[in-house]
Structures are given as structure tokens and as C-alpha cells.
Amino acid sequence: MTTADKMKDEDSKRGSYNYMDLMSEWKLKNSDFTWMEFAACKGADAEIFFAESGWHTANAKAQEYCKRCVVYKDCMRFAIENNIKYGIWGGLSPRQRRRNGSKHLERE
């Protein structure tokens, strides 16, 4: 049983998974999580960032968090360097990260 399965069993409430435990199972190129302590989205409902439906509405809500976040660039870098294919990270959708994520990092 994976950590994700265990977390689902322990707490079936959506958005309450311990994503840090889940990420520790991934093979990460960038494993610096220190920035997450200062993220504007800390404690927010994960459904906003990893929506299964209503993607455009959730995307707009997620980007509102990112606009006021002091560590959005670290978040964006984390997702780009680790090739994370799901969710909003640093204000960018998976498509935006694939298409021109490195340009966003250079701009800031």
C-alpha cells in the first residue's frame, strides 16, 4: 500500500492528505521544501490546486493565492525542476509549465 493509499484510508476528507509524505515517495531533483512553510496556500483546500472538475474556476482561485504569495517563484521552480504534471504550482498550470515554464523563472 502506498503512502497515498494509507492517507486516503486514514482520512477520507478531500484536501486533508499529507502531501509532504506523498512527495517524499517521488524521485525529486529539487527536494527543498523549506519554502512551503511560507506559502500563501498553506492549509488551503488542495482541491483548488488539484481540481478534478471545474478546472477553470479552481484555476482562478489558485492563482489568487499565488498572486499574493511571497514564495510563488520557489513553488514554480519546484514544479518545473521536478517535472510535476498536475496541479497549479507558482501560478502556472501544467500546460503553462510545459510550454514556457523556464521563461517564467527567468522573468522574475
Which of 2, 15, 23, 22 has its CA nearest to residue 82? 23
Per-residue pLDDT tens digits for 65-76: 999 999 999 999
83: left (phi over 0), alpha (psi -120 to 50) or beta: left
* Count of domains for the chain: 1
Which of 99, 106, 89 has its CA nearest to residue 30? 89
Terminal Cα-to-Cα distance of the chain (whole angstroms): 41
Q: Is residue 1 part of a domain?
A: no
Q: Which domain holds residue 76?
A: 31-107
What pTM value is reported for the model? 0.67
Q: Is residue 70 part of a domain?
A: yes
Q: Is residue 8 part of a domain?
A: no
Amino acid in the structure at residue 9? D
Rounded average pLDDT over 91-102: 84
pLDDT of residue 69: 96
pLDDT of residue 14: 45
